[in-house]
A and B are shown apart, each in its own frame.
Chain A
Amino acid sequence: MSIVSEKRASLGLGSGVLALLATLGIALAFYRFATGIASVSNLNQGYPWGFWIGFDVLTGIALAAGGFVVAGLMHMFGGEKYHPLVRPTILTAFLGYLLFIAALLVDLGRPWTIWHMTIMWHHESPMFEVGWCVMLYTTILFLEFLPVVFERFHWQRAFQVWRSVSPWIAIALLVLFAIALVQKPAWVIAIAAILVAFQLGVEFGIVHRNPRMPTMLMMAGIIFSTLHQSSLGTLFLIVPHKLNVIWYSPLLPVHFFVSAVAAGLAMVIVESTLSARLFGRRVELYLLKDVGSLLAWAILAYLALRGLDLVFRGVGMELLVINPQSIAFWAEVVIGLLIPLGILLTPEFATSGPWLFWSSILVIIGLFLNRLNVSVIGITSEYGRTYYPHWMEIAISAGIVSAGILVYIYICRNFPVYTHEGEPASGR
């Protein structure tokens, strides 16, 4: 009993700090809306994008990738055993996206016009793709999270409706996305045909119906997530003149996708470990070991991709001279890839909870460094502009993240996120 009460006390202190950070961040955000971006940030004409894009947008979205990675595992490899991980990762991904949208509103100059993207279409723009992925994938995540709410309030009828309607909503969103971004009707029709055929197969009992979650919903999540992670890389394809050759590659979208998969796996480990501690549950170590070995494979794949990419583009000397960019590159590779890979490939460590946890933390730090490198450190601006984040930029980001963690804890305490022995309310 004493251990439990101690945990409560330390959590109380932690929550207090988080609440303080959240309040400060939100207050600063209001200040920014009243006075303009310049009063809280060092963004300037040479560096229109800074810490907010590097951390809130690029890193935040990659860390929310756990949602689709686990969905993918479940879906493709029948990992029914991974089911305990599904709800928490969906919740993290959903909250992550909501936070990211909040952060984006701070970064956008005129956030009240954000709805313009829904009617002013421009299929050529990577930013348009990013915006649409955010809108539609957040909707999918919301739909995926709904059963938790239904279960909490015992809304069995709503669950039934959800189960029959949500796959069709998913199809509608996918087709709408295709119409907005693909100019050739033949492609749109082909995509729609495959999706509808699959769903009809489910409806008529040809394809197996997943009792917990419509498969189409998971497929839509995986497709939107894949597109979103890679589209963030596409954003930077337009700066061959500004982004350092170490990072600028035509394969940038693929880099972003593969590293997001690795970060998503790391997030699953970190999140399960932390929430187990926080809520006094047992860590699902038997599952996390598997996730750890997948993480090792993901790191290897990413290393091979980046390595070959550098070789084929003939980048060599740039990595050996000593300048901020090369140091940033090696920090990213050593901290985020080589050290965690070493840990995960050592048999004694790969099965130990704490080592898995810390190697995952390193992967996440490495991903943050990579995104910061691509969006800020690797960017050269002409005419002598420089940029360092203002403390208020960091405080606003920290406030948003703190608010998110508090909401996460609240939902986990009050909704059946971790009661995974249960089928959804009306599952049987």
Chain B
Amino acid sequence: MAMKALLIDLPRCMGCRGCQVACKHEFKRPAEKTGFFGGPGYQNPADLSKDTWCLVTYNEVLVNGRFEWVFGKRQCMHCQVPGCISACPVKALEKLPSGPVVYHKEKCLGCRYCMLACPFVVPRFEFTSWNPYITKCTMCAHRQAVGEIPACAKACPTGAITFGDRDALIREARRRIATNPTKYVHQIYGLEEAGGTCVLHISSVPFDKIGYITRGVPSSPMVAHTEPAMKAIPVVMLGLAAILGLGYHLRTRLEHNRSAGRPPTQA
């Protein structure tokens, strides 16, 4: 099965938040009590939360000498080699061959290492519950399983969210940028970030201006950073066992020979 993906064409977004509502509806997540806050003003709510897995961000950006609203979209990026999965000690997170990164809640310990590992700061934790789980976007894996497209893509009225094969969407993104080179910045966010993701974004303004995490996100998968240390485990075990065993044997032999006949440690 080809790996599916979402292409988010930000210039087509008009900030209606239909995707946000569709997501809440699909997963029956309750509404949040929100208010105006400093900064991006009309953005609502301020951040992804345990109940908001899909968020349209509102950004005032200086474009050609005047301020304009530029919208962004935040959700799980569904990395190709996800950091959260390599972090999880009990395999509560799983990458489906079709693209989605899904969560098996019954396995989860609540250690929150996935939250630390995620370069896009996506997984959320139910801190207010006595029996808390991690929550995040599932790319509507349950809808995909029955041939439907994700709820956000279905709801979008302007075609800003396209669902399809990842390879095809990369070609499509490149085509859109190439046919309209002045409209788009020449970058596909998600093509290489953290080893490549299944949510691809194209934008009319540089991504760091609209709150995307650009600084510090490595282009290699997160697991590449822990792998060398994990690979060293057998070397350390074997090395220590050999050195300690041999060292002990040689030392006691030496002491034994020195104290000629007397058992060494009962001196």
Contacts and interface: CB of A to CB of B under 8 A. Distances in A.
Interface of A: 33-39, 41, 43-46, 48-49, 75-78, 80, 107-111, 113-114, 116-117, 120-131, 174, 177-178, 181-182, 184, 187-188, 190-191, 194-195, 197-198, 201, 207-208, 210-211, 215, 219, 222-223, 226-227, 230-231, 233-235, 237-242, 250, 253, 381-383
Contacts of B227: 124
A109 B48 contact: no
B116 A242 contact: yes
A234 B127 contact: no
Contact of B111 (A122, A127, A184): A127
Contacts of B267: 80
A75 B211 CA distance: 56
Contact of B132 (A36, A181, A381): A36
In the A-B complex, the 10 residue pairs with the closest CB atoms: A109-B110, A208-B252, A48-B112, A241-B216, A187-B234, A38-B127, A128-B89, A48-B115, A127-B89, A120-B90
B262 to A, nearest CB: 12
Interface stretch (B143-151, B173-181, B243-251): B243-251
A237 B251 contact: no
Contacts of B119: 241
Nearest to A118: B90
Contacts of A182: 233-234, 237
Contacts of A121: 91
Q: Which of B109, B119, B121, B253 has the most CB of A within 10 A?
A: B109
B107 interface: yes
Contacts of B244: 75-76, 219, 222-223
B230 A80 contact: no
Q: Which of A46, A78, A211 has the most CB of B within 10 A?
A: A78
B260 interface: no
B237 A178 contact: yes
B185 interface: no
A248 to B, nearest CB: 9
Interface string B85-104: 01111110000000000000
Interface residues of B, number: 68
Contact of B230 (A41, A126, A240, A250): A126
Nearest to B215: A241
Contacts, number: 221
Given A45-B49, A46-B121, A237 B108 contact: no
A210 B255 CA distance: 13
A122 B89 CA distance: 6
Nearest to A76: B247
Contacts of B247: 75-76
A250 B129 contact: no
Contact of A226 (B130, B240, B251): B240
Contact of A382 (B49, B213, B223): B213
Nearest to B252: A208
A238 B225 contact: yes
B1 interface: no
27 contacts: A45-B48, A48-B116, A76-B247, A109-B109, A109-B110, A109-B132, A110-B109, A113-B107, A116-B107, A117-B109, A120-B89, A120-B91, A122-B89, A124-B226, A124-B230, A174-B237, A178-B237, A181-B234, A198-B245, A208-B253, A208-B256, A219-B241, A219-B245, A230-B229, A235-B113, A241-B216, A383-B121
A366 B223 CA distance: 30
A129 B112 contact: no
Given A109-B125, A240-B216, A127 B249 contact: no
A241 B115 CA distance: 13
Nearest to B241: A194
B238 A190 contact: yes
Interface in B124-150: 124-133
A238 B86 contact: yes
A182 B225 CA distance: 17
A190 B234 CA distance: 9
